[in-house]
Structure formats: C-alpha cells, structure tokens
Amino acid sequence: MTGHIVGGLRGPLLSVAILAAGALGAQAQEQLSIATGGTGGVYYPMGGGLAEIINNHIDGYSATAEVTGASVENMGLIATGDADLAIGLADTVAQAQTGTGRFEGQQLEMIRGVAVMYANLVQIVTLADSGITGLSDLAGKRVSIGAPGSGTEVNAAAILNANGLTYDDIDEQRLNFNETADALSNGDIDAGFWSVGAPTSSILNLATTQSIRMIELTAEEIAAARAADPIFAEAVLAGGTYAGVDADVPVLGIPNVLVASSEMDDDLVYAITKAMFENIADLRAVHPAANQTTVEFTLAASPIPLHPGAIRYYEEIGATIPDALRP
C-alpha cells in the first residue's frame, strides 16, 4: 500500500520520505502504510522511525508513515486494509477490538496488538512549597482536572474516585494544559492533572519559572485505580524529565499500542517486531517516548490479544505470554 509523507521533514523522517520516493523504482518492494496522527504529536515521529527501521532491516518491504486523525480513524484504516500498521490509544484500541464505546455495533475483531509503544502519563503537579505531597492532600484544594470532556478529565475522575475522593471533596477547575500551568504559576489553583506524553511543554515551561513537585501515587493508590479501570498501566516518570523533579516518580499510564490486522502475514509481523526491538536505539533517537518501548511493557500493558507473529518473537526471546494476550 503506497502512503505519503508531508513536506518539510528533516533528519530521520526525511530519509523515510526519500526511501519512499525511491521505492517507485524498486518494483520488488511491497509498500507498507503506517497510520499515525498529526505532525505535531508523538505518533507521527514514532511511525516515521518505525518506517525507517522496516526500510533498513526488512528486505522486500518499504514503509511510509501516514498523517491521520489518530486513534479512532487508525482502527478503521486497519479494518478496511487501508493501513498495514497503526498506533492507537489503549482505550480506543480495546473498544474497537471488542465493539464497545465509540465502536458500539461495529466490532473490529481483526485488530491485534504488535507492541505497546509508550504511555500517556497521568502527571499531577503542584508547586514545591504548596504542602501537598500526596493524593489525599488534594481534599479541600483547588485542582485543575483538565479541559471539559478531555481524556485528562476522564483519567482524573477515575483516579480520584477509586481512591475515595470526589469532586465534592475538591474545588475542581476545568482548565486545559496551558491554563493549568498558568493558574499554578499565578497561585490561582493548588494542583493540576495532565494526561499526556512526557515531557510536555506546558510543564517544562512551568518548571523553568517555578519550583514544582510531581505528586507521587502510592502502590495502593495505583492498584485501586487499575482495579477501577484496567486500561491504566503502572508506569514511571523518569527523574530529570522536568527541572526540579530529580527522582523517578511512580505514575499511571494509558498505553499507546501498535496494532495490525489478524490477516497480516505471521512471518511479516514477526520480522517487524524483531527488527523494531533489535534496533530500538534507532527509534529512541527519533523520539524519547520510545524509551518506554519494551517487551516487558508490552506484555504488562497490551489491552488486546497479540498477533501470532509478535507472540512468536516474544517467545523466541524467552518471554512468557499471558493467556489473555493469546488470540
């Protein structure tokens, strides 16, 4: 399947574009399309990096990263065969595969996991001198729970409710990321939730002008949230991600999953999975989110069964596949 790449690319993604253009003269090469997201997000560079790995390490195939509307559209592209690989947020992927939520009445049972690429991290931020050190300290405080209808608001409500807090216990403010950072800096709120890949610019900017603290969830709080919403995964915000946050911080993550159709050839999915993990440094050079792309995270966080080709690679390297991840 022939894809397209928008102009204005530099570095690794430019080489993807050049290779894709050159593939027109390589009649023996089969074209693979990777559905990603907008050029300003994480999906697009991750897909571009994966395309380059395929181009460099899998004979007979040429891959291209596609600009798309992201998760929901991407599942449809896999179902119709208009994309070979796609990245999607775990809850969307699970809904598509099971025919629930946004996909009620249109189950895309053929969706299979290849790997979990990285997680959106639920980051709960306060100023260092606020006196807030844990989730329970948010009671009675002014807390931004994210923009109305946002994924951040959904995640914040789930985490609070699972741990005995409701909006009745806080003074909730529905602010977007930049508004939340500004309100913290100005002293208009006491804490704020972000559900986004890390690092994110609004927290980076806040940390350059204020001393911040990342509120750490306890093991019990993480377990309670995961029991309430199994899409949550245990994750870690690496120390040094933001100025003043030097130690690793246990957080909740919402995985982003690389998927393929169950109809995709097992040998090809095996080759893609193997090439990606054996050349993971190349993907990490494209985007730091790929530091989370590990076999361990995949097996702990995939919301859907894995493709048999991916399972073959994981078993080959000695991993134990949970029963729930077998198709």
Domain ranges (residues) in the chain: 12-118+256-325, 120-253
The answer to whether the 12-118+256-325 and 120-253 domains have the same CATH topology is yes
Burial class (CB in 10 A: 0-12, 13-18, 19+), 1: middle
Separation CA 252–CA 235 (nearest Å): 5
Q: Is the domain 12-118+256-325 a CATH 3.40.190.10 member?
A: yes
Can the peptide bond before residue 255 be classed as cis, meaning omega within 30 degrees of 0? no
Q: In degrees rounded to 5, what are phi and psi of residue 212?
A: -110, 160
Q: What is the pLDDT along the chain (327 residues), one digit of tens a residue?
A: 434 333 344 454 544 444 444 444 445 789 999 999 888 678 899 999 999 999 999 999 999 999 988 888 999 999 999 999 999 989 889 989 999 887 899 999 999 999 999 988 999 999 999 999 999 999 999 999 988 867 788 889 989 999 999 999 999 999 998 999 999 999 999 999 998 888 888 999 999 999 999 999 999 999 999 999 888 988 899 999 999 999 999 999 989 999 999 999 999 999 999 999 999 999 999 998 899 999 999 999 999 999 999 999 999 999 999 999 999
Separation CA 90–CA 256 (nearest Å): 6
- Report the CATH architecture of 120-253: 3-Layer(aba) Sandwich (3.40)
